[in-house]
Amino acid sequence: MRQIFLDTETTGLSAEGGDRVIEIGCVELFNRKLTGNNLHFYLNPERDSHEDALKVHGISNEFLRDKPKFAQVAQEVLDYLRDAEVIIHNAAFDIGFLNKELERVGQGPFTRHVSNVIDTLVMAKQMFPGKRNSLDALCDRLGVDNSGRTLHGALLDAELLADVYINLTRGQEALLMEISDDQPQHQADVQIDLSSYQLPVLRANDHELVAHEDLLKQLDKASGGQTVWRNLGASLSS
C-alpha cells in the first residue's frame, strides 16, 4: 500500500480569510517502509505571513519572494498524491487550505484526487482519550526523537508523523511474511513441522502487566465499554 504523510505551513490560520500555503512536505511509505521518494516545496503565497505564524514556522516573507506559486506546482503535487492514502495530523486544517489553493487553480477538492485520508489526531484521541495529542506530545509518548524540531517545518513534521504513525500502528507488520521478488510464490505455501521444537514461554513482568492493564482500560474507555473481551465475557456468562 502506498501511503503519503503530508504537512503544510501557512501564512496564518484562516484559509477562508485569505491565508495561503507557504510550504508543502510529503513523505512516502510503501508497504510500511520509507522509500525516500519525498516531495517538498516552498511557495510564494503572494502575501505576507502573520506575525504569530512567523513565530511558529520562522519562514520569512523575503525568503519566499522568489519561490514558485502554488499554481506552478499544483499538477506535480496532484500527480504525486494521486490515488495514495494520505495521512495528516489534524487533517481538517491542511485540507481546508489545500482545497482553497486547488479551487484557485480550477481543480476539484483534495479528497477527489486521493484514495483516502487518515487523521492521526483522531486516531490519537481514540487511543489516548483525555491526553494531549499534539505531534510533539505523541513524539514524547511514543519515543520518537523530535529534538531537531525547534520550529515547525512541513517536511520535518511529515517525517515525524511517519514515525508516529508507524508506532501508533505497531505490531501490524509482525503478522506479515516478506517474500522476495525472485522467490516463487508457491514456496510461501510450504508447511513446516514445528512439533519437535520447544518454544520458550516468556511471561510478562509486573511492570509489563501494569502497562498492559492500563492500555486495556484506555481502549475500554475509548470504545464506551464495547471492547471484545467485555462482549465475550458477557456472552460466556449468559
Among residues 89, 152, 186, 212, which one is catalytic?
152
73 DSSP assignment: H
Is the CB of residue 64 less than 8 Å from the CB of residue 154?
A: no
Is the CB of residue 85 less than 8 Å from the CB of residue 115?
A: yes
Nearest to 17 by CA among 47, 42, 52: 47
At 103, list the grid cell.
Answer: 479551487
At 82, list the grid cell.
Answer: 494521486
> What is the phi/psi pair of residue 70, to 5°?
-55, -40
Is the CB of residue 48 less than 8 Å from the CB of residue 61?
A: yes
Q: Is 152 known to be catalytic?
A: yes
Residues classed as catalytic: 152
